[in-house]
Amino acid sequence: MSSPTQYRFSFGPWNISEGADPFGPPVRDAFPHEEKFALYKPMGFDGVQFHDDDVVPGLESLSAGQIENKADEVATMLRNQGLEAEFVAPRMWFAAETVDGGYTSNCAADREMAWERTKRSVDIARILGSKAVVLWLAREGTYIREAKNARVAYERILELIDKVLDYDPEIEVWIEPKPNEPTDVAYVPTTGHAIALSRASRDHQRVKVIIESAHAMLAGLDASDEMAFALAHDKLGSVHLNDQNGLKYDQDKNFGSANLRSAFDQVLVLEEAGYGGNGEFIGLDVKAMRTQPGLPVLDHLKNTREYFELLLDKVRSYDLTKVEAFRDDRDYEGLERYTLRHLLGCT
């Protein structure tokens, strides 16, 4: 029997102490960005997920050389802390030019700006030794469907992916699908859309997906099935584990906090496929509750990591021989009882 996967965990600095929300006063101060990295290892995290401007703040007004110097500094800091950069994502949704999307904007100058910014993210990823850029296509969609030509928009996204693959012969592109928010309707809402784009690209082995549990749920889909679909295509670059209580705003709740059984199913799918065996991270995208004071606020990250480990114990003690027997008898009532009793700790 092969030895059990030693999972490694990652999260992005945006998961720590962002104290403001759109509907009330800040409940906690922002924690200084550069001090966040020292918090990773003591909490049991080995990977940092980055936006390009988490690495190089204010990069839009810096020269390529200045960006490189700052990225070099961060690379040294990561080495000193024993941390790995999991991915770098162009934060394409705050610039004035990308209000109506970057890659799919109707304006050629905006699309050019988006491409330039994406190249800088690839440069930064290369300097940090990260193998992937993540495209969370936040504003690549519309508020009214007539605003853009959807067929052309898909072509533009594919063209961009091909350009990234050409620009760097080693970089991987991981698409993070999400069906809505900030746009009303997004062009790449599901894993299936992302994998279709991958297959249509000029080097599909370098185009994968990162699946966020809550994003799948917002699309009305089962997060574990989305992960299974990507794994079946050998295209699960990473995950953003979290939870979501129904079809609302993007909540980024603690993994398992809204639906423990769904969280169990996700861990089961990952473990069964040997995910993590090639160095893939268990990435978390969880936010502190809006009511939570403190500085820095970290318990949601520690707790979600712990919930993953506890669910992993449940997955590893789930009796697959029994499961098979229930399946053979098509006794799903019995299978559900076994599963729920197992989750509830009954022997």
> Closest distance between ligand XLS and the C-beta of residue 51, in Å?
6
Q: Binding residues for Mg ion, how many (CB under 5 A)? A: 3
Shortest CB 215 distance to Mg ion, Å: 7
Residue 31 or 174 having the CB closest to Mg ion: 174
184 catalytic per annotation: no
**Residue 172 binding ligand XLS, by CB under 6 A:** no
Q: Residue 103 in contact with residue 160, Cβ under 8 Å?
A: yes
Host H or E run for residue 241: strand 236-241
- Nearest one of 52, 59, 49 to 16, comparing CA atoms: 49
Q: Which does 134 bind (CB under 5 to 8 A by kind): ligand XLS, Mg ion, none?
A: ligand XLS
Beta bridge partner(s), residue 241: 284
Considering only 134, 175, 207, 216, the residue that binds ligand XLS (CB under 6 A) is 134
Choices 125-133, 138-146, 210-218, 306-314; region in contact with Mg ion by CB under 5 A: 210-218
Which lies closer to Mg ion via its Cβ, residue 208 or residue 342?
208
Q: How many CB atoms neighbour CB 164 within 10 A?
A: 22
- Site membership for ligand XLS, residue 240 (CB under 6 A): yes
- State the nearest-atom distance from the C-beta of 252 to Mg ion, in Å: 8
Q: Which does 187 bind (CB under 5 to 8 A by kind): ligand XLS, Mg ion, none?
A: none
Q: Which of 11, 136, 174, 281 touches ligand XLS by CB under 6 A?
A: 136
Cβ closest to ligand XLS, residue 176 vs residue 243: 176
DSSP helix/strand/coil, 173: strand
Using CA atoms, how far residue 111 sits from 148, 230, 235, 337, in Å, is 14, 29, 27, 54
Residue 89 contact, options ligand XLS, Mg ion, none, Cβ 5-8 Å cut-off depending on partner type: ligand XLS
Q: Is 140 in the site for Mg ion (CB under 5 A)?
A: no
Q: For Mg ion, which residue of 285, 304, 312, 339 counts as binding (CB under 5 A)?
A: 285
Active-site position among 51, 215, 240, 342: 51
234 is catalytic: no
Q: What is the DSSP letter of 24?
A: B
Q: Residue 287 interacts with ligand XLS (CB under 6 A)?
A: no
Sign of CA dihedral 74, 135, 42, 296: positive
Write 52-60 long-range contacts (CB < 8 A, 24+). Answer: 52/88, 52/89, 52/90, 52/91, 52/117, 52/120, 52/121, 52/124, 53/91, 54/12, 54/13, 54/14, 54/91, 55/88, 55/124, 55/128, 56/120, 56/124, 57/33, 59/120, 60/95, 60/117
Please report where in the chains the tokens 């533009």 appear, as a residue: 156
The distance of closest approach from Cβ of residue 49 to ligand XLS in the complex, given in angstroms and rounded to an integer, is 6
- Given a contact cutoff of 8 angstroms between Cβ atoms, the answer to whether 158 and 198 are in contact is no
Q: How far is the CB of 219 from ligand XLS (least distance, A)?
A: 13
Task: Say which DSSP state 38 is in.
Answer: G
Among 176, 226, 265, 271, binds ligand XLS (CB under 6 A): 176
Of 58, 62, 54, 50, the C-alpha closest to 34 is 54
Catalytic-role residue among 52, 53, 54, 250: 54
7 binds ligand XLS (CB under 6 A): no
81/220 Cα distance (integer angstroms) = 40
End-to-end CA distance of the chain: 25
Which of residues 208 and 240 has its CB atom nearest to Mg ion in the complex?
Answer: 240
| 3-state secondary structure (DSSP) of residue 318 | coil
With CB under 6 A as the rule, give the number of residues binding ligand XLS.
8
Q: Does 54 bind ligand XLS (CB under 6 A)?
A: no
Residues forming the active site: 51, 54
Query: Which residues in this chain contact Mg ion in the complex, by CB under 5 A?
Result: 212, 240, 285
Query: Which residues in this chain contact ligand XLS in the complex, by CB under 6 A?
Result: 51, 89, 134, 136, 176, 212, 240, 285
